């Protein structure tokens, strides 16, 4: 089924496609690649792409952002997180950059292990890491937790915001308004976790799932495989990313995640409560949870998106395109975002802003 050029793959997709099909690419990295290469414009009109919730910055709950904001404002706290997280608004529209511009000590971490050195250098301060991301980023946080516990660093704590992809896909495919007929699964997630949970999803929901990479060729190949299954009435998992994602995944990374975390029900921004959709520290690593040290406040009831008429919740559910938002481009931009999908370098709104033709 492979071809030697994008043109040939597009020709094969057109040849296979005899009716309309709606596909969802799960990962924000896939969304950006599809728009950057113009694939969304080159596909036949019968193929409709829906953008999934696979942007960890976008789906981090507003409540957790509010907790991070309150912690960062405390004089005894050093709060560390990763680039885009500093720009995500909480429920009152404020972000961590605003706290840093005030009196808060907010720092960008490039890897979780960087934070261990910060805590050791400042034994008189409470150092809080706000780690986010799907399964591929969880092992690095788990490694930090193991090393912190082994080294006995009492002032290092974690405000864990890791989330899991299969549970949210299960919830979305169960929703009565779901239009998705086939999925392009993120190759980086499957490289860590393998295909077992996706096999179960494909069987239960009777949708084909194709694991893809992030190049134009890999995405086109994945679309072709998904369309081929749909046209034949098949629904199984196919791995189109074999160069990086083995069927069983990475056993060492899985063991590290299982040792340090356990699944929990959690809130996803724009999507609500997802059963089993998050990760929390298990004992003895739970002693590192910042909630054991301080009690962050409960958030206000309204999110900034709801308050300002932003439709990012619908975008994250694949029920609306970013360009359908009345605030898209004016006033919502990457420099002045109303919702998280315009903040993140993996957000669908940011992709449309940058690449939409």
Per-residue pLDDT tens over the stretch 277-327: 999 999 999 999 999 988 765 555 445 555 467 898 889 888 898 999 999
Determine the Cα–Cα distance for residues 309 and 331; give it in Å rounded to an integer.
12
Q: Kindly state which CATH superfamily the domain 61-162+250-292 is placed in.
A: HypD, alpha/beta domain 2 (3.40.50.11740)
pLDDT, tens digit, for every residue of 96-129? 999 999 999 999 999 999 999 999 999 999 999 9
What integer pLDDT is reported at residue 308 of this predicted model?
61
Q: Report which of 66, 339, 316 is spatially closest to residue 168, judged by C-alpha positions.
A: 316
Domain extents for the chain?
Answer: 6-56+165-239, 61-162+250-292
Q: Report which of 330, 239, 201, 171 is spatially closest to residue 1, judged by C-alpha positions.
A: 239
What integer pLDDT is reported at residue 80 of this predicted model?
98
Angle at 282 (CA atoms; ends 280, 285), nearest 5 degrees: 105
What integer pLDDT is reported at residue 357 of this predicted model?
56
DSSP for 102-119, written as a single string = TT-EEEE-SSHHHHHHHH
Q: Are 34 and 194 in contact (CB under 8 A)?
A: no
| Residue 73 half-sphere exposure toward CB, CA atoms < 13 A | 12
Structure-token pair, residue 149:
């516990």
Strand blocks (E) in the chain = 21-27, 47-54, 77-81, 105-108, 126-129, 132-133, 156-158, 161-162, 182-186, 209-212, 237-239, 261-268, 272-281
Low-confidence spans in the chain with pLDDT less than 50: 1, 301-302, 307
Q: Are 199 and 237 in contact (CB under 8 A)?
A: yes
Assign 223 to helix, strand or coil. helix
Structure-token pair, residue 216:
């134009």
pTM: 0.92
Say if 6-56+165-239 and 61-162+250-292 have the same CATH topology: yes
In the chain the first and final C-alpha atoms are separated, in Å, by: 30
Q: Are 55 and 344 in contact (CB under 8 A)?
A: yes
Rg of the chain over all Cα atoms, to the nearest angstrom = 21
In eight-state DSSP terms, residue 207 is -
In eight-state DSSP terms, residue 339 is S
Fold for domain 6-56+165-239?
A: Rossmann fold (3.40.50)
């Amino acid at each position: 089924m492979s071809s030697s050029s994008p043109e040939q793959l597009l020709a094969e997709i057109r040849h296979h496609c005899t009716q309309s099909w709606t596909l969802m690419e799960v990962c924000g990295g896939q969304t950006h690649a599809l728009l950057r290469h113009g694939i969304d414009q080159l596909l036949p009109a019968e193929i409709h792409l829906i953008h999934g919730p696979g942007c960890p910055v976008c789906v981090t709950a507003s409540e957790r952002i509010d907790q991070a904001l309150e912690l960062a404002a405390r004089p005894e706290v050093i709060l560390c997180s990763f680039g885009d997280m500093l720009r995500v608004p909480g429920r009152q529209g404020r972000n961590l950059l605003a706290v840093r511009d005030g009196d808060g000590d907010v720092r960008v971490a490039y890897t979780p292990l960087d934070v261990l050195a910060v805590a050791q250098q400042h034994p008189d301060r409470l150092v809080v890491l706000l780690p986010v991301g799907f399964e591929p980023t969880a092992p690095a946080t788990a490694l930090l937790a193991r090393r912190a516990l082994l080294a006995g660093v009492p002032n290092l704590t974690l405000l864990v915001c890791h989330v899991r992809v299969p549970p949210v896909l299960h919830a979305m495919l169960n929703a009565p308004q779901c239009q998705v007929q086939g999925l392009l699964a993120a190759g980086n997630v499957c490289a860590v976790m393998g295909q077992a949970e996706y096999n179960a999803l494909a069987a239960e929901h009777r949708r084909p799932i194709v694991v893809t990479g992030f190049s134009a060729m890999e995405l086109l190949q994945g679309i072709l495989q998904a369309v081929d299954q749909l046209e034949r009435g098949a629904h199984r998992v196919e791995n189109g990313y074999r160069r990086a994602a083995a069927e069983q995944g990475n056993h060492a990374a899985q063991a590290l995640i299982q040792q340090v975390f356990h699944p929990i029900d959690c809130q996803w921004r724009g999507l609500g409560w997802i059963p089993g959709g998050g990760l929390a520290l298990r004992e003895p690593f739970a002693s590192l949870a910042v909630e054991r040290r301080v009690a962050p406040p409960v958030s206000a009831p309204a999110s900034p998106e709801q308050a300002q008429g932003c439709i990012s919740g619908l975008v994250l559910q694949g029920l609306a395109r970013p360009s359908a938002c009345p605030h898209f481009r004016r006033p919502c931009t990457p420099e002045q975002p109303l919702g998280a999908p315009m903040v993140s370098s993996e957000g669908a709104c940011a992709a449309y802003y940058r690449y939409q033709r």
